[in-house]
């Protein structure tokens, strides 16, 4: 991209700067045109051609074909995640009742997307939330709260040796997906619109970190679904050990997300230390289970499955904590 240098000029009591003529021409600006100027948090400024560009509605058109419904539903999700405000599904002839219902179920899973028009040939949905009113941190915390509830309920099932929570966990995992999609949409929109990023107070590195953190929380939700999958917990002899390890994982999640949101490196280091204690607890359980393998192989299999699922969840919180920047950066070496 070309870079320009301009000298500040004083005219009366005002300080002025001239804009590049090529930029003026390419954006069809003239004397009297209003150009928004944003002051960024890093003390730079951003100048935009017009307000109307920011208010432009992005529209996606999806051509219906009954032979490729999976791909079309994925296109709906893709258009949502890319920040399209209007998503239209249109058919040359008509959309079957079954396929129309499938489209509508898909759209209902996307926060803020509402069906505003429908007939036999088309379904039109619109994103009705103002991105400027959304808060990436609040969405992340909401996502985190749902995942934490899922994990607590799964651990209670292990404690009681009665796994009857799968349907409840699955339902809440759907809500995890809804919040995850909303957060990804917001992050991508901020990535493509520096004005929005400035209003959301997100730097480029913040946008990248939120994208990674969102993916880790969504993955943790999927791993908790695996943890809650139907299996016979009555074979597990070391329930108290798993409960203790689960309490460590809960604390890891709480501190990891808090460290990420507050950019607190000290808290993130605590998470890493807690993962070491978690590993010690899991290794002790595995050793005890291995000693009992000959007498009860089913117990060993159940123990290893649980240990594997819990370790994947714990690693998600380690990875979230690792996103926090170091407190002190090492100074570059300088010759005396």
Domain-by-domain residue ranges, the chain?
9-54, 59-127, 133-322
Please give the average per-residue pLDDT across 154-182, as a whole number: 84
User: CA torsion angle for 188, 192, 194, 197 (degrees, to 10)?
Assistant: -10
Q: In a 3-state reduction of DSSP, which class is residue 124?
A: strand
Domain 9-54 has CATH 2.30.30: no
pLDDT at 143 over 70: yes
What CATH architecture does domain 133-322 belong to?
Up-down Bundle (1.20)
More confident residue, 327 or 123: 123
Mean local confidence (pLDDT), 284-300: 67
Q: Is the pLDDT of residue 326 over 70?
A: no
- For the stretch 220-246, pLDDT in tens is 999 999 888 756 555 566 678 888 899
CA dihedral 204, 207, 212, 216 (to 10 degrees): 160
Work out the pLDDT band at 5, boundaries 50, 70, 90. confident
Class for domain 59-127, per CATH?
alpha beta
What confidence score (pLDDT) does residue 52 get?
46
Cα angle 186, 189, 195; round to 5:
110
What per-residue confidence (pLDDT) applies to 233? 56
Residue 125 phi/psi, 5-degree rounding, is -125, 155
Q: Give me the chain's average pLDDT, please.
A: 84
How far is it, in rounded angstroms, from Cα 97 to Cα 318? 46
- 42: tokens are 């890093």
Same fold, 9-54 and 133-322: no
The number of angstroms, rounded, from the C-alpha of 31 to the middle of its chain's C-alpha atoms is 43
């Amino acid at each position: 991209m070309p870079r320009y240098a301009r000298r500040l000029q004083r005219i009366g009591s005002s300080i002025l700067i001239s804009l590049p003529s090529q930029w003026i021409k390419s954006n069809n600006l003239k004397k009297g045109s209003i150009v928004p100027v944003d002051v960024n948090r890093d003390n730079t400024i951003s100048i935009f051609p017009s307000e109307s560009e920011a208010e432009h509605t992005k529209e996606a058109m999806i051509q219906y074909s009954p032979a490729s419904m999976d791909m079309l539903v994925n296109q709906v999700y893709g258009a949502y995640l890319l920040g399209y405000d209007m998503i239209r599904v249109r058919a040359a002839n008509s959309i079957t009742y079954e396929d129309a219902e499938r489209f509508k179920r898909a759209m209902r899973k996307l926060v803020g997307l509402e069906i505003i028009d429908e007939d036999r040939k088309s379904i039109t949905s619109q994103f009705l939330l103002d991105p400027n009113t959304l808060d990436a941190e609040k969405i992340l915390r909401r996502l985190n709260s749902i995942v934490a509830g899922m994990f607590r309920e799964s651990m209670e099932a292990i404690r009681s040796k009665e796994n009857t929570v799968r349907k409840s966990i699955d339902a809440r995992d759907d809500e995890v997906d809804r919040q995850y999609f909303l957060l990804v949409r917001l992050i991508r929109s901020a990535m493509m619109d520096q004005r929005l990023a400035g209003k959301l107070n997100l730097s480029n590195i913040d946008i990248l970190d939120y994208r990674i953190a969102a993916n880790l929380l969504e993955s943790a939700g999927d791993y908790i679904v695996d943890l809650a999958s139907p299996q016979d917990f009555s074979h597990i002899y070391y329930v108290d050990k798993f409960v203790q390890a689960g309490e460590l994982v809960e604390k890891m999640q709480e501190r990891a997300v808090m460290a990420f949101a507050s950019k607190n490196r000290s808290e993130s280091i605590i998470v890493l230390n807690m993962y070491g204690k978690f590993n010690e607890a899991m290794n002790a359980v595995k050793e005890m289970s291995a000693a009992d393998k000959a007498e009860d192989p089913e117990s060993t299999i159940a123990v290893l499955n649980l240990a594997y699922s819990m370790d994947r969840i714990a690693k998600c919180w380690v990875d979230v904590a690792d996103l926090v920047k170091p407190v002190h950066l090492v100074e570059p070496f300088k010759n005396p």
